[in-house]
Amino acid sequence: MSSVKKIQVWFQIHKWTSLICTAFLLMLCLTGLPLIFHEEIEELEGKPHLAREVPAGTPVAGLDKLAETAQKKYPDKVIRFVYWDEHEPNTTTFSLSDSIDAPPDNYVNLILDDHTAEVLDQPKVQEGFMYIMLQMHIDMFMGIGGKLFLGLMGLLFIAAIVSGIMLYGPIMKRFDFGMIRTERSTRLKWLDLHNLLGVVTIVWGVVVGFTGVINTTSDLILGLWQMGQLAEMTAPYKDAAPLTGKLSSLDQALALTKKAAPGMEPSIITYPGTAFTSKHHYAVFVKGNTPLTKRIIKPALIDAKNGTLTDLRDMPWYVNALFVSEPLHFGDYGGLPLKIIWALFDIATIVILGSGLYLWFARNKATRAHINRLSKNDTEILTVLAQKENA
């Protein structure tokens, strides 16, 4: 295949992959921008800090007491999850639902004081601007179908980046890097800017696009983990009788896990019957202390009848890839400086997408004008020939 033919093929790939995914990528960039700064936005909105300063060594109420308080607040609901927010020390959050197998969006959260067992807040997390931005960015309010569709758009975005690189290389053999021809037409200026920003954001675009694709497969990854490692860990309880009576102590489950995984901190506890454990176990997920290891969690299974530790394992590589990719997607590893860099690249990508649409429309308009001119010339020639023939 000749070099000219190769360029034509890459041009067609770049054009159609870009056109198909541009509208959805614009939506993702626009919704992703406030999500990068979600913590800072919540601060500006006046979100209260629930943490209370207490002297070192102040005794805590214990998880069993906290669970009792949460259950009294909503006696007709069941506790499904217990988790901790690193931005709200000295607090524990309980998530309660109408039933253990209720839909994921059926829940109410209660934030309790670790020391007094007092209910501090009942946040409404399924409403407001940031909730809408998050859901649009994750699945467009369409569930797993929306996630997988956005994952496909992410793959097209990566294909558009690769094809753009293949097109930009031959161009730069004839021009200086970063060239913007300001003395020529508006379309050429936008073309040069589009190409320059595209090259500058290559690495960021591939990282964000690839991690975004991984994030859209979270439901599939959860299913693989359930059918694989989780099924293996809970196999001895496959034919066990259903749990009856009062469950074993949460405090005991947490203490056993901390002893088995020293140096790690609790992240979330899931109750028996939820998607992250079996019908017979608490699953206590613990995490590390460094910026990287705190993104990687491992599950400990605690028999919810007798309170014994039955298994503790590292997660499979594909689950860890999901845990690492989610914060990287939003630049949530290096504090505010990295968030600002992520936001600048996000804005540059918005300019790239917008200029790409402009160039496509401008090219089509110029092509139609050229065709019209040719058609007009052809008509004039045919008219002259007809007049000569009649004469």
The CA–CA distances, whole Å, from 285 to 130, 161, 183, 222, 370 equal 27, 38, 61, 15, 65
162 and 182 both lie in a single domain: yes
Q: What is the DSSP letter of 132?
A: H
| 82 & 115 share domain | yes
Q: Is the distance from CB of 254 to CB of 266 less than 8 angstroms?
A: yes
Q: Are 216 and 150 in contact (CB under 8 A)?
A: yes
C-beta of residue 328 within 8 angstroms of C-beta of residue 212 = no
pLDDT per position as a tens digit, 146-191:
999 999 999 999 999 998 888 777 766 666 665 666 666 777 788 7
Q: What share of the chain is helix, strand, coil (3-state, %, to 5)?
A: 55, 10, 30
Read off the DSSP letter of residue 342.
Answer: H
72 and 96 belong to one structural domain: yes
Q: Say whether both 34 and 88 belong to one domain.
A: no
Structural domain span for residue 269: 63-126+247-315
Nearest CA among 247, 318, 255 for reference residue 277: 247
In a domain, 161, yes or no: yes
Q: Is residue 216 part of a domain?
A: no
Same domain? 206 vs 262: no
Whether residue 310 is predicted with pLDDT greater than 90 in this model: the reply is: yes
Strand partners, 298: 286
* CA dihedral angle for residue 22, residue 24, residue 29, residue 30, rounded to 10 degrees: 120
Residues 348 and 297 in one domain: no
In a domain, 240, yes or no: no
Write the pLDDT tens digit of every residue in 198-218. Answer: 888 999 999 999 999 999 999
Cβ 283 vs Cβ 234: under 8 Å: no
Percent of the chain predicted with pLDDT > 90: 55
Radius of gyration from C-alpha coordinates of the chain: 29
pLDDT at res. 307: 94
Q: Are 285 and 338 in a shared domain?
A: no
Is the torsion defined by CA of 103, 105, 111, 114 positive or negative? positive
* Predicted confidence (pLDDT) at residue 333 exceeds the cutoff of 50: yes
Domain membership flag for residue 322: no
- DSSP letter string, 191-236: HHHHHHHHHHTHHHHHHHHHHHHHHHTHHHHHHHHIIIIIHHHTGG
**Residue that wins the pLDDT comparison between 350 and 381:** 350
pLDDT digits (tens, 9 = 90+) for 250-274: 999 999 999 999 989 999 999 999 9
Residue 54 covered by a domain? no
Query: pTM of the entire structure?
Result: 0.84
For residue 116, pLDDT over 80 is answered with: yes
Q: What is the pLDDT of residue 168?
A: 73
- Residue type at position 86: E
In a domain, 383, yes or no: no
Band of residue 100 on the pLDDT scale cut at 50, 70, 90: very high
Closest CA to 50 of 105, 96, 116: 116
Tell me, yes or no, whether 146 and 121 share the same domain: no
Q: Are residues 145 and 31 in the same domain?
A: yes
Measured from the Cβ of residue 329, the count of other Cβ atoms closer than 10 Å reads 22
Same domain, residue pair 168 and 295 = no
Residue type for position 315: M
Mean pLDDT rounded to a whole number for the chain: 86
pLDDT band at residue 24 under the 50/70/90 scheme? very high
Q: What are phi and psi of 5, to 5 degrees?
A: -65, -40
8 A C-beta contact, residue 90 and residue 66: no
Number of domains in the chain: 2
Tokens linked to 49: 């800090």
- pLDDT at residue 390 tops 60: no
In a domain, residue 76? The reply is: yes
Q: Record the tokens describing residue 245, joined without a space.
A: 């009576």
Mapped onto helix, strand or coil, the DSSP state of residue 79 is strand
Same domain, 172 and 25: yes
In a domain, 222, yes or no: no
* Pairwise pLDDT comparison (386 vs 15), residue with the higher score: 15
Instruction: Indicate if 136 and 201 belong to the same structural domain.
Output: yes
